[in-house]
Structure 1
Amino acid sequence: MTEGKQSVCVYKGSLIEVNYFKERLEEIDVLSFVKDDFQTGIHAGFIDVSPDVAELIVDADDAEKAFKCIEGLKE
């Protein structure tokens, strides 16, 4: 991902689903990263964060391509 660019959350769900979609996006050359507030919260000492929600983030320039890919995989 490029530093200084806008980023977009293209999917929010379980860590398993997010990692699956991340791998599929890599296959079509869309770079992404996983934002997992649960792991972040554990490291920071917070305990009131849901373990079931992670976000898949891409550059805004790749968002449309990523959304189409994810929608196609969900069908």
Structure 2
Amino acid sequence: MGAGTPIRDVDVRGTIRLGQFLKLSGLVEQGADAKDVVAAGEVTVNGRAETRRGRQLAPGDVVACGGERARVAAET
């Protein structure tokens, strides 16, 4: 997955944890899938591997998994 991979903005109200964002953004289909991919080290946040499913994300954070990327966007 290179820098040319498009980033999809996902509107989020308030704060969100990594596991929730993976499902909301469609990067995984089910919550159990989020647990598995995070534990396996297949998820990055801002280009760094992340193994904490409960990590709090902030607007602007970019999450990558399975060759796709999504950015946390503050809901307006």
For normalisation by structure 1, the TM-score amounts to 0.28
Say which structure is richer in helix.
Answer: 1
For normalisation by structure 2, the TM-score amounts to 0.27
Say which structure is richer in strand.
Answer: 2
Which structure: larger Rg?
1
